[in-house]
Amino acid sequence: MTRIKQLPRRQRVRKALLFVSLLLFPVTLYYFSPVTIVESAAQGIVNASFIVFGLMFVAALFVGRLWCGWACPAGGLQEFGSVINNKPARGNWIKWAIWIPWICIIAVLVARASGYHAIDPFYHLEGGVTLAQPVDPEGPPWYLIYYIIVLLFLGLALIFGRRASCHTICWMAPFMIIGRRLRNLLRWPALRLRVESEKCVDCLTCTRNCPMSLDVNRMVRSGDMEDDECILCGTCVDGCPKGVIRFSFSAGR
């Protein structure tokens, strides 16, 4: 608790939002499901997770991976786990090895279903919340799926370091990464980080504190703050003793 109180106000707000999102995870679980989107694709139905992933892509055109840094329940779970293992984590390519075949499977199933022809946000979502799902005698109960996901995301972070699951198994991150890359290609105004490199004293506080294990100091020195794994959490902004890094809603990259 003392450690939280020592954080800058913006970081306390961010941690609080992550904590609330984590508490709501048993309710919202199916909205992020990589499985129900496959099942609904086979029937040509646009389901809740399809809509959520689509919104993440659209949002990334303007705010990058802000969701990951401020509202993702799995991200919050891992950040709280960093108290136990705070070493840097890597393995960014692994999620693409998962994501690309997954997207291909969805595309094939949609093609076999002759395209999407219906929208059902509550597909496999009785009452609109995960908690309301009846126990399926032919499949695992939702709470077992929930515990498996929690153990998987938290376990990887505890074993391999800061937000390791974000680097390796997250199926949502690529939607936002692609949106962010498209935004940079079009060079339109969006939320991003800007720096005044000449103020940097190379204290390395930004790199040490980055929850995504980025070499922020190198990024500052190069003057290029764009990185696929940046989640715009603002930790480097709030932690810099010289005010080198700031948020900016601007064009360019």
Write the pLDDT tens digit of every residue in 202-250. 999 999 999 999 999 999 999 999 999 999 999 999 999 999 999 999 9
The two tokens of residue 245 are 């890094």
Is 221 in contact with 200 (CB distance < 8 Å)? yes
Domain co-membership, 139 together with 122: yes
Domain co-membership, 235 together with 121: no
Choose one of 148, 181, 214: the last residue of a domain.
181
* Distance in angstroms (rounded) separating the CA atoms of residues 112 and 115: 7
Look at residue 1 in the predicted model and tell me its pLDDT: 52
Write the pLDDT tens digit of every residue in 58-81. 999 999 999 999 999 999 999 999
* Distance in angstroms (rounded) separating the CA atoms of residues 103 and 115: 14
Domain co-membership, 110 together with 24: yes
Look at residue 173 in the predicted model and tell me its pLDDT: 96
Domain co-membership, 135 together with 211: no
Look at residue 252 in the predicted model and tell me its pLDDT: 77
Count: domains in the chain: 2
Mean pLDDT of successive 10-residue stretches along the chain, which has 253 residues: 76 97 93 95 97 98 98 96 91 93 98 97 78 62 87 96 96 97 94 97 97 98 96 98 97 79
Look at residue 139 in the predicted model and tell me its pLDDT: 65
Residue 219: give the domain boundaries.
187-250
CATH code of residue 205: 3.30.70.20
Domain co-membership, 203 together with 165: no
Domain co-membership, 146 together with 70: yes
Look at residue 144 in the predicted model and tell me its pLDDT: 86
Domain co-membership, 64 together with 136: yes
Choose one of 135, 160, 181: the last residue of a domain.
181
